[in-house]
Chain A
């Protein structure tokens, strides 16, 4: 909340600030900023507002100013009965919601300063998962003036009997980091909570705080109730005055790698940058990259610079320690992932380094905003591409930032599984009528287009499972009374709801411990654990699904070193140090975020425009020129398909530039089609830019003979039956279904004590999926899972747009060997996971080993 003086605002708006506040600003040597006063103006006019501001603009103070001003004048408190005694309270005035509980705690601490210094009679408290039960109960009885909390805690508060009492006095709600919240199911949950609040306290006004987004008017809809099919939106206030950032691409002296994501070639240069600046944030896209880079920097750290590591699977205490050291200015560098995209403002970061692909212009801009939180000074950032394609991506991202172009995703359509959770939560509080709740849900922007049929299906699902075969009436979780109002059937349902609230489904994680090898090299992989040294140093945690793909003796990178998988005992993975330089099993899974459509489009344009190549590094220009000479550089609207033989296989490489997720889906579908065409495909690998498929059949020959039509191969109709057939059986769909089953409350994640003893008799959601799909394919949960898979996990819309765009515009180049442009994706083979569903072949391979053993 550091501020600097900017031009004096006009007298008219300045008058909105009471004397006490003006004196306080002056005592700090500050003057209020235009947008801070603008929000006071919105408050006076009784309007909700969305504040778009870069970090360092005094955004949080701006969001709270109306609250502080309103609470600074004495409001008569009333006596509230607590059951045992009466207590003086004026009730909850402002609710603040943050995506991070740590942020809520920090904001509370920061707010205390002006409150204390101005002597304001304001009580501020936080409520997170860590808040003791006694305090939570007290907060419901004697609410503070300002409560800072998270979307999940809001849902819990709303499901309690005293929600009407607690929120009836509410005047304001402040939503922090709104741009981040609305992109996930947590945003859906929050929107439904808001809808509830609008009914409980129709007078409340919202203030949203957000980084710059592509469509502020759409985001502003989130903050006000949607009614009668009209699109209502809060007023948008944009903070001006931010200096444009200075962003450069690292002009490396080294040879630019063809592939990979580590940017190891530029290590010395990165280290040098850290050395030359006071505090540098080094962003990478994945946890394993962060670990590797951190280890590398540490090894070369002859100057003993204080460099720390920060990512999501580190222990929370460890992360807080790094953050505190950072805030205290004790660190020279922090290697971090998106775990630091959001969060507490730190004073003096003077440089942001982004390693690897920026993925999106807005995301990059937000990261760069983490540097230098003084709004009138330019943030400085250096982009370090890790391979040649990333050079192109960095180049267009820098242009996009210069133009202040945004590419944040559009507002979500509310998910049905989240709605199911909310409906159950509502039934836990006051009983509700379907008509009234439906009307209420429609006021939430993400659900404004929800059909009554979908809503009724969700209510039916919550009640009896929503099955066409109606046999569960007597087991209903919520029931209607004589007036038709729904309420929970028994207290256990309420208890289970409280334990399972929230939309974040965590991957099952296993603890990784380092032990001495017990001689796997000698072929002892019989799996007994007797001789294995127990205990061992904890290295961290790893996803269970990754370990499931390993056999004893496999090596992989963890904690920045190559380790050997030794054993799995309960939830502990035992590994030993391996001497191998390269891991056998790749663990790079790509970032969570795909290349944005916007940047992809710009990369295609850049490729198409030879004159623009001059701005690129020599090595990259030469690479593209070679490609032009050797094959062809893909045009903006066309799809370049190259075929060539290599070893005893035939390769097909195409360049859609639609991001890894869309390419993986495309790879699955093309492989199916090639199989039908008897091209005998064996596997494929995808990166953000290209897709390579290989097989035994000579696809080029087949095209020449007219046995394979590339336009037909890439026909958009693959998104019909082929997609359905593949998706229905895919592991991805099963995982998506599992998440929906957990969020919707079909299956509990956490159990009451009474239920815990029954955990022995668990069941597999995959089996449930199979049965449900066969017997009721249009069940509401399956519909929800399909929608999730199509939008988030597969980028089907994007794939569909691409297929229509390139339809009839496929350029086939038959080559005798790999082209320069194909080298990067070809190098991913063996380094990236190869896709294709695990199938009978995997089992057959294991069975064949047995045969070989038997024969000889």
Chain B
């Protein structure tokens, strides 16, 4: 079993090992916080991170799209690391995005890193999308039926002196915060105060992305 299922406001979604969510009924795939061109963004400031993050992120995205073959993809904001990032895309990477968009609807939700995306990227740009009982937006507000990103949740699990830290989905029955999908995106512990504003106490679950499967662990067990 590679994935686990989560139920948000009565809707059942598959939490994919890659960090994507798949809503089968709607043939909708959701990914969040791709942060494309984060490497070159740092390079511009003198930190010469390897320039392979965009191609790494897009090839992982291609794999999960091939697996589910969705009719629609929502990129849940911060798809690009900064305002100019899309201009730094290589032709190959730009071509890869176009290829992924072929034969399906594509929605770019704008995020705080990429508030003004140009239309030539293909797909449509929106600040929020509502489908059935679910609202998709970048920054979580804690509203019922919300699927958001922005916080890059991660969880650390420790046992007998050893520990592991991984990205995770943070969910309760009413809302979810998705893990960041980008190759260079680190994370924020789900025990951070930011999550306390969205979830009630620690009564939420971490769906932790392991090596071969997604593990469901109570937030109180994580650090």
Contacts and interface: CB of A to CB of B under 8 A. Distances in A.
Given A471-B51, A843-B210, 11 more contacts: A472-B51, A475-B43, A526-B201, A527-B223, A763-B49, A763-B186, A764-B184, A768-B49, A846-B215, A846-B222, A847-B216
20 contacts: A469-B51, A471-B51, A526-B220, A527-B223, A548-B156, A548-B165, A549-B163, A551-B159, A568-B223, A584-B160, A748-B47, A763-B184, A767-B183, A767-B184, A767-B185, A768-B49, A768-B50, A770-B183, A850-B217, A850-B221
A477 B48 contact: yes
Contacts of A768: 49-50, 184
Contacts of B222: 846
B62 interface: no
Nearest to A476: B48
A467 B52 CA distance: 9
Contacts of A584: 160
B164 interface: yes
Contact of B215 (A771, A776, A844): A844
A826 to B, nearest CB: 18
Nearest to A466: B48
Nearest to B191: A527
Interface string A364-397: 0000000000000000000000000000000000
B139 to A, nearest CB: 15
Nearest to A568: B223
Report, as a range, how many residues of chain A touch the other chain: 35 or more
Contacts, number: 144
B83 interface: no
A766 to B, nearest CB: 9
A267 to B, nearest CB: 27
B146 interface: no
A762 interface: yes
Contacts of B52: 467, 469, 771-772, 774-776
B164 A843 contact: yes
Interface string B50-91: 111101100000000000000000000000000000000010
A847 B217 contact: yes
Given A475-B43, A550-B161, A846-B217, A779 B50 contact: yes
B191 to A, nearest CB: 6
A171 B164 CA distance: 55
Given A767-B186, A772-B52, A471 B158 contact: no
Interface residues of B, number: 48
B212 interface: yes
A500 B95 CA distance: 40
B38 interface: yes
Which 9 pairs across A and B sit closest by C-beta, in order of nearness? A465-B48, A775-B52, A843-B215, A840-B210, A549-B161, A847-B215, A585-B161, A475-B43, A764-B186
Nearest to A833: B161
A842 B159 contact: yes
A56 to B, nearest CB: 43
A749 to B, nearest CB: 12
A746 interface: yes
A734 to B, nearest CB: 12
A227 B210 CA distance: 53
B196 to A, nearest CB: 9
Interface in A21-60: none
B208 interface: yes
Contacts of B186: 762-764, 767
A692 B83 CA distance: 56
A844 B217 CA distance: 9
Contact of A771 (B45, B184, B213): B184
Contact of B166 (A475, A763, A843): A843
B120 interface: no
Interface string A736-752: 00000000001110000
Contacts of B210: 840, 843-844
A525 B220 contact: yes
Given A550-B161, A838-B162, A840-B210, A496 B46 contact: yes
